[in-house]
Structure 1
Amino acid sequence: MGNATGDGAARPRTGEILKEMAITAWYLRAVLIGLLLLFVLLTIGMYYWGAPVETANRTPSRLGETVYFCAITALTIGYGDVVPTSAFGRIDAACLGLIGVVFTGLIVAAAVRGVQEAAHRAERTG
């Protein structure tokens, strides 16, 4: 078993990795923009029909808190300080979580492809 750094293999540069990642993200731009637009629509729907409530004092959430809740849900963190109280809001929150998983997966896939392509290019050139 050879050490990857000691067997003479060329290492990809960070700039090349980021360039390849950006190229991949550019190819995925329609899907990524579609997911962002869907996120915005679901956030608006959550604000008007999801009935989000702060758990600390049980008051309706303001727009900023609703956007915060939707972002935290899409990132699959889910602190629980704001919760939807209607059936629509719960379905909306589940959809936001799925969108977040797909969006995150696409970004990670673009990063992995960037590393792979930069490594292949580094092997070919040096």
Structure 2
Amino acid sequence: MADPSAHGNARAQIRPHDAIAEFTRLLWLLRHILAMLLALFFLLSIAMYYLGGTVGATSRAPSSIGETFYFCAVTALTIGYGDVVPTSALGRIIAVLLGLLGVLLTGVVTACAVYSIQFAAQRAGLLHRQTRTADSDP
């Protein structure tokens, strides 16, 4: 195991404020992309309500707008309880698109979180940025 003092101060700690501030800054920089993804989520949710034929799995009754948004959120988060299901082919296609959208949105937010923690660690002296030169091996 590597010596913790080899990369800087052994007592250095990541400051949560640095990570949170960087995370907020990144989300702000990506606000247009995130807004577009959220708008697409709402458009797909509305399409699911009118075209997807979502029904309660046990009652087989048509879903309300609230139940449809719940289904769309559960699908986008890739949880998938199965208590509300689409019954039409178009509804199943919309569900797949919602799942892909959710994975994309989750990936963007996760990447921002990881970068923010790396930024805070670098600022604390726990992580050094490596630069590649033309002579270095890939």
The AA in structure 2 aligned to 1:12 is I
**More displaced 10-residue stretch of structure 1: 38-47 or 26-35:** 26-35
Secondary structure at the residue paired with 1:123?
coil
The AA in structure 1 aligned to 2:88 is S
The AA in structure 1 aligned to 2:48 is M
Gaps of 5+ in 2: 127-138
Aligned 8 A contact 1:49 1:88 in 2:
yes
Secondary structure at the residue paired with 1:11?
coil
Secondary structure at the residue paired with 1:56?
coil
Structure whose residues are more often helix by fraction: 1
Equivalent residue, structure 2, for 1:52: 54
The AA in structure 2 aligned to 1:99 is L
Per-residue deviation, 1:17: 0.5
How many correspondences in the alignment? Answer: 123
User: Larger relative contact order (C-alpha < 8 A, sep ≥ 6)?
Assistant: 1
Equivalent residue, structure 1, for 2:74: 72
Instruction: Quote the RMSD (CA, aligned, Å).
Output: 1.7
Equivalent residue, structure 2, for 1:42: 44
For 1:27-38, what aligned pairs fall within 5 Å after superposition? 27-38=29-40
TM-score using structure 1 length: 0.92
Equivalent residue, structure 2, for 1:115: 117
Query: Does residue 88 of the first structure (1) align with residue 90 of the second (2)?
Result: yes
Aligned 8 A contact 2:4 2:10 in 1:
no
Per-residue deviation, 1:9: 5.3
Amino-acid identity (%): 52
Per-residue deviation, 1:3: 3.8
Gaps of 5+ in 1: none
Taking the aligned partners of 1:33 and 1:9, their CA distance within structure 2 comes to 40
